[in-house]
Structure 1
Amino acid sequence: MIAIEESLQSLFGFNQFREGQGQTIEQLLSGHSSLAVFPTGSGKSLCYQLTATQLPNLTLVISPLIALMHDQLDFLRSKGIAAASLDSSQTKEESQIVMSGVHNGSIKILMISVERFKNERFRRFIKQIPISMLVVDEAHCISEWGHNFRPDYLKLPHYKQELNIPLVLLLTATATRRVQRDMAQKFSIHREHIVQTGFYRSNLNIDLIQTHNHEKFDKLKAVLNNTDVVPQGASIVYVTQQKTAEEIANALRSDGYSAMAYHAGLGSDIRSDIQANFMQGKTRIIVATIAFGMGIDKSDIRLVVHYDLPKSIENYSQEIGRAGRDNQPSRCVLLACLEGLHTLENFVYGDTPEPQDIDALLHHITEETVDQEWETQLYGLSNHTNIRSLPLKTLLVQLELLNILTPKYSYYADVRLKWDGDRIAFSNQVPAEWSNAYQTILSGIQYKKIWGSPNFDQIYNQAGLSRGDVLQILEYAADKNVLTLESKGLTEVYEINTRAFHHKVLVNQLHQYVEEKQTSEIDRIATMIRFFQLDRCLNSNLARYFGDQNAPDNCGHCSVCGNNVLVFSQPDINKKSHEEWQENLALYVKEFAQHVKIKSPKTSISAVLVTRFLTGLTQPIFTKVKARQLNGFAAYEEQAYKDVFDAVSQLIHS
């Protein structure tokens, strides 16, 4: 322990470890894969950062966001630790420098997104690199289902085996005991190597304010202006939908507040500028969807407001955890009303594939399989099956886990190049073992004006060169700035286990899986609503939800401890009369059915599809038939999905 404490001081300038850090690092350096569950802002990253400096080979870090990577890289570089990332913000030259540093061993830590493994060039490259440790940040993605779930995280155990990585560190701030067990099992982490620190944070004031929809904006301004609990400072206001973020930010600015909206619908450059201004204190208030937060390492956020209901207790704890990382008093406010409850539930229902769509997916795989090999592009497959891309990715991952699909490789269907230098003269720079292959490739490129595309079949037939061989040589030329190489149309290639491909059984298995996940997610929302109405200390119960049994029974700084137990008021939605509901519903359903029949005759009009149309839940088919232009689209978005579904079912079957 003395040796690593010396490294802590010499490398990072810290005198002592925070709770859990030393234990986790000691376990790793003793060769034990570990799971670290520390609350937001409590120093999880140091566990891999210090360990990586003591290991002989590369530490590969899976990180969910570019912003998170860049913040951590800035910190590591400030300490003189050689670290880099490969991400979409880089130029070709920047990526080349990083890969060269990894290859020669001068870079000790490489950060990537999990989707980087789909890049065929990266996979060829990383297989050549000895790796000491795999680190998975936000590791709960391995276990949880949700609107922002990353299905490719489920494949990380496979990548660990494929790359023969001996050591794993999983990091998360929010994992219940059940989720911890699930994560550990997937990576063969023993129970004694799960390190969980205290969850309770004494500086966070949790305040639940009962309200109605029409009162929320005025109450938001009152909260922003209130300095009685904590001083005025940097604030995040969380909302559910992008349009709400824009509306609230605009209204706040009109009233003289320094506020900006942040959501996934904005361009990446705009989001980066907004985030930078907030981090530098130029913008006081960010009104954001959950697209904002992960990777926001701003220590002096004094206020987090949930203008709308969060998605779950897990999301809520992560979001309020961004307040007061400097341990100064900070306020976490929920403007508590149930008007947005149906919107949250509807997101879940909109993501669940129908049995007929799962059936279409399996039929498509069977019909397109040639010699036990299936190729697909996600966008086209989503349109063909009418399954949103996120649940579609999850279904494909589940088929992998059932040993029906085995990913072989991925490639870009469209590869094109243009010469920036003399391709003939470059022959003299090509390594001798590639000389003949290079000449074959030159003769196998078909040009349209400036740009050309290699004819992979022709080149293979002439010289037996695989697609990978051709791309490796072209990438070498691109690295030498002789040509510009572009690619698009990412195509996944799978091997199909036809012996295990029992169509009806798989339809039932996959449908049962998505139904269970739907039920689980709806239950998580209901659990959260119950949590907010507890008559016992909220901070104490939140800590216990995540397995911390040592939090005080009464924190003294939450609504309940202040004798203010929340009781949700009934929503003040203007409900339509039964006759108006039925009359409008019948009209909208008839118009939608007729429109789809004309635009897409093969599409089956189910009660689920109609309900998603009426509640405004986008589906691939809606884009294809331009359903948004119809009067009924999203006409019932504030109603409970189940109520609309029951009414539609009765109408269709009457």
Structure 2
Amino acid sequence: MSDNEYDDDVFDDLELDGDDVFDDIAENELVALERPTKRHKPETLGAENELALGDGDSHLTLAERILSNQFGYKSFRHEQAAAIRQILKGDNVLVIFPTGAGKSLCYQIPAIAFPELDLAEGTREPTKAGVTIVVSPLIALMKDQVDALKKRGIPAESIDSSKKWEELQVIYDALARSQLRILYCAPERLNNEGFVETVKRIPGGIRLLAVDEAHCVSEWGHSFRPDYLKVARFVSEIKAERVICLTATATPKVAEDICKAFSIKPACVFRTTPYRPNLELQAKTVCKEYDHDVGVSLDIMLGFHVKWERDKRFEELFKFLRANPGPTLIYVAMQQQCEIHAKVLAAQGFKAAPFHAGLKTEVKQQVQDDFMSERVDIVCATIAFGMGIDKPNIRNVVHWDLSNTVEEYSQQIGRAGRDGNPSKCMFYLAPSAFYLREVFARGDLPSRTSLGGLVFDISDQALGVSVGGVFKTNHYRQQKDFDIRPSPLSVIYATLELHFGFFRATTPEYSAYKYEPMPSYFRLVKQDKSPAVDAIYKKSKKKVKWYDIDINEAIAYKGAGLNRADIVAKLNQLDQQGHIKLQASGLTNRYILQKALPKTDEDREKVVEKLYKDLTGREKDALQRCREVMGLITGPKCFALSLAQHFGMDLPDGKGKCGHCSFCLTGKPVEPPKLKVTPTTASSIQKVLKATDVRDDPRFLARVAYGIRSPRVTALKLDKSPVFRSMAGHDFEALLAEFTKVCEKKSEE
């Protein structure tokens, strides 16, 4: 059951960066294990011990043995060995390797090595070996990693929303017995109060916390995620012994942010060049000009319900695929494009399949399996596909639309040619790409009116709460009330926390719990007379099959000495032990007040002004990142050199060019497509105004005209109106200016 019913897509078929990628938390997965045992501090043993702590060479010897015996590799590559040695010595580490360069081994090998180090040190019992937790953003990635580790005899599991209750019980039991070496989870799970309590009680503690896609920690990263901000706090709360952060796409500024968040020393940053000599980076402009007022309609331009023959890129794509056979990924911007492209390619005799977040889980898994086993040669995908796909012989990566960022482009082309054989990466440039990426960028910035309403609402929620106290908010209600999509709403809260210091996000809580008793439950409650069990039993209300329990009523029933954490922990423990099946609902976000929020309208407006300036800057940054992608592809420089320099590096041996990209082969830049902007007319503006009586928000009206969905647009069903996207060929800023005049005139009347 989800508290957020609003579809966070700008289009109903548009795949937004990250919103469809990250794992949702199932509400029936709250667990708690036994109380933590006392943990021993490692002690340096004598020189006679082969694995004495701090002996870097012995650590490396152990790591090399695991690499050979468990993974079948003869030697490390890049900076793997150096990173692993520092982790085994107890340091926090940042690894910046290109996609496919073996980042996962940097935490998998230490996870396997810890029990042997314990034995050599003589400081831990086997039943207190602890576990390595990997924070990863995608269920598919977790599944692939876990399956691969299990095949190698390495005990690993993931806790995610796809797991059945019975499967979770096995995992919890293995954790309690120190039988797991690696546990994968999504960053959102760190908000789950039951999961946090569970981790605190794992015997032996957390030996290593691995943060995959660590660039999401940084506000300067290309896919900043507020939930990742909580990872550093999670490390402190659970007392993780050490941390490794991993990413393929960290600019120098992003790397600096990551190191600051996790106390990583400069000497423990391991970076290798993103340059891959076997990748041929190519680009081609198709349809150099497009006039929105004549010829093909916008719907045809975007590929909606049309004959594909009108898009010249298909002809180029067919030629490319026939000349370059082999496993291929084709990246598009929208879900419906995946379907269209797969059908068109199948009609041409290619074995192709679509992949996007809108497909059912079993369908996505089948497509992935078919691609891995080569029953399918081509996958037409959104950004939802590719993370964690360990297929070494991908021969081609095609970009149909403009990438959001250089980092995203680098990550996606990095999936080609991992076997070291020549592979091609083709980037098609067409005028439609500009419109799509502007929709992405413009869709996240709320109007100033909406932002003001939100800030006032948050301040009202905190009225009467003293510093250090907790106040609660409902994000779903605020999305609807203030016309702000989920992703920017999370960023707004993170900005108020990080830049203004008003509050600190803490573990959300569920307002309602219910459980289905198993046969052993009633026997247990007769025997267990603890206050928590007694309160749960006495304050549960039977509703047919399930029992409802109000946590606050249970606390009040026993009076002093019993708190919410006790009740939640006991419910989770009963669930983990198989006495009940637990579900929770009504997610409420909670914040600890760090300093008083503004009370007067004047002070609140000052916050709104500063916050809106910050968010406007984010919109400009998003647009600039798109221009950076275009600059890389159409600039007067080798593609590979431009890519390396974006990440603060150069080509190996000081080379000035790769010799086989489009620029190097032709000696001239790729000519960018040109888009003719349609002048804004009064008649077009009037058509939009006639479709709605909204006059309090010019940005809302501009969104309707330009074709950008938001909660309010959807609620009023304007996305179904003929005026929706009717002015997509216009300049968005010009539209905003025109509708601002209309709204200001209305307010003066």
Counterpart check, 1:556 vs 2:659 = yes
Aligned to 1:425: 523
Give the distance between the partners of 1:547 and 1:440, measured in 2 at CA: 59
Aligned to 1:523: 624
Give the distance between the partners of 1:142 and 1:568, measured in 2 at CA: 36
Q: Aligned-pair distance for 1:467?
A: 3.4
Amino acid at match of 2:613: Q
Amino acid at match of 2:409: Y
Contact 2:95 2:103 in 1 (8 A): yes
Q: Aligned-pair distance for 1:417?
A: 2.5
Partner deviation per Cα, 1:589-615 (whole Å, 9 max, x = no partner): 2322x1x4xxxxxxx632211111112
SS in 2 for 1:414: strand
Aligned to 2:390: 297
Counterpart check, 1:35 vs 2:136 = no
Partner deviation per Cα, 1:104-135 (whole Å, 9 max, x = no partner): 32212211111111212111111223112221
Aligned to 2:688: 588
Deviates more, 1:42-51 or 1:267-276: 267-276
Give the distance between the partners of 2:452 and 2:665, measured in 1 at CA: 54
Give the distance between the partners of 1:186 and 1:303, measured in 2 at CA: 37
Deviates more, 1:478-487 or 1:359-368: 478-487
Task: Find the partner of 1:246 among 317, 328, 339.
Answer: 339
Q: TM-score, normalised by structure 2?
A: 0.80
Amino acid at match of 1:531: L
Taking a change above 3 Å as real, the CA distance of residues 532 and 418 of structure 1, as seen in their structure-2 partners, is same
Counterpart check, 1:193 vs 2:296 = no
Contact 2:207 2:241 in 1 (8 A): yes
Partner deviation per Cα, 1:334-355 (whole Å, 9 max, x = no partner): 1122321122022111101333
Give the distance between the partners of 1:420 and 1:635, measured in 2 at CA: 58
Unmatched segments (≥5 aa) in structure 2:
1-56, 119-129, 288-300, 302-310
Deviates more, 1:32-41 or 1:479-488: 479-488
Contact 2:157 2:171 in 1 (8 A): yes
Deviates more, 1:335-344 or 1:309-318: 335-344
Give the distance between the partners of 1:571 and 1:329, measured in 2 at CA: 32
Amino acid at match of 2:550: N
Give the distance between the partners of 1:317 and 1:287, measured in 2 at CA: 18
Aligned-CA RMSD value? 2.3
Taking a change above 3 Å as real, the CA distance of residues 577 and 194 of structure 1, as seen in their structure-2 partners, is closer
What pairs with 1:123-202 in structure 2 (closer than 5 Å)? Answer: 123-129=196-202, 130-144=205-219, 149-202=224-277
SS in 1 for 2:450: helix
Give the distance between the partners of 1:50 and 1:476, measured in 2 at CA: 31
Task: Find the partner of 1:360 among 453, 457, 481.
Answer: 453
Task: Find the partner of 1:118 among 163, 182, 191.
Answer: 191
SS in 2 for 1:233: coil
What pairs with 1:213-224 in structure 2 (closer than 5 Å)? Answer: 214-224=311-321
Taking a change above 3 Å as real, the CA distance of residues 509 and 95 of structure 1, as seen in their structure-2 partners, is farther
Aligned to 1:410: 508
Counterpart check, 1:108 vs 2:181 = yes
Give the distance between the partners of 1:155 and 1:423, measured in 2 at CA: 35
Q: Aligned-pair distance for 1:577?
A: 6.7
Aligned to 2:359: 266
Aligned to 1:601: none
Aligned to 1:599: none
SS in 2 for 1:180: helix
Q: TM-score, normalised by structure 1?
A: 0.91
Task: Find the partner of 1:24 among 83, 101, 117.
Answer: 83
Contact 1:533 1:565 in 2 (8 A): no
Aligned to 2:568: 471
Give the distance between the partners of 1:63 and 1:351, measured in 2 at CA: 24
Deviates more, 1:69-78 or 1:34-43: 69-78
Contact 1:346 1:641 in 2 (8 A): no
Identity of aligned residues (%): 31
Aligned to 2:12: none
Give the distance between the partners of 2:168 and 2:231, measured in 1 at CA: 23
Amino acid at match of 2:366: D
Q: Aligned-pair distance for 1:329?
A: 0.8
Q: Aligned-pair distance for 1:66?
A: 1.2
Contact 1:337 1:568 in 2 (8 A): no
Partner deviation per Cα, 1:543-581 (whole Å, 9 max, x = no partner): 2222232433222211111116344354467x6576xx4
Partner deviation per Cα, 1:260-304 (whole Å, 9 max, x = no partner): 121122222221221121111111111111111111111111111
SS in 2 for 1:87: coil
Taking a change above 3 Å as real, the CA distance of residues 626 and 59 of structure 1, as seen in their structure-2 partners, is same
Task: Find the partner of 2:479 among 374, 379, 382.
Answer: 382
SS in 2 for 1:351: coil
Q: Aligned-pair distance for 1:311?
A: 1.0
Counterpart check, 1:608 vs 2:705 = no
Give the distance between the partners of 1:630 and 1:400, measured in 2 at CA: 39
Contact 1:208 1:566 in 2 (8 A): no
Aligned to 1:204: 279
Give the distance between the partners of 2:730 and 2:716, measured in 1 at CA: 24
Q: Aligned-pair distance for 1:463?
A: 0.7
Contact 2:134 2:182 in 1 (8 A): yes
Give the distance between the partners of 1:642 and 1:567, measured in 2 at CA: 28
SS in 1 for 2:605: helix
Aligned to 1:492: 589
Partner deviation per Cα, 1:392-451 (whole Å, 9 max, x = no partner): 1112222332432223432222322233437543324x545x2x5434432312233333
SS in 1 for 2:645: helix
The size of the alignment, in residue pairs, is 635
Amino acid at match of 1:630: S
Deviates more, 1:467-476 or 1:29-38: 467-476
Aligned to 1:308: 401
Contact 2:197 2:569 in 1 (8 A): no
Aligned to 2:73: 14
Contact 1:140 1:183 in 2 (8 A): yes
Aligned to 1:59: 132
Deviates more, 1:398-407 or 1:46-55: 398-407
Counterpart check, 1:346 vs 2:439 = yes
Give the distance between the partners of 1:204 and 1:444, measured in 2 at CA: 64
Contact 2:634 2:672 in 1 (8 A): no
Partner deviation per Cα, 1:45-71 (whole Å, 9 max, x = no partner): 111111222335322211111111122
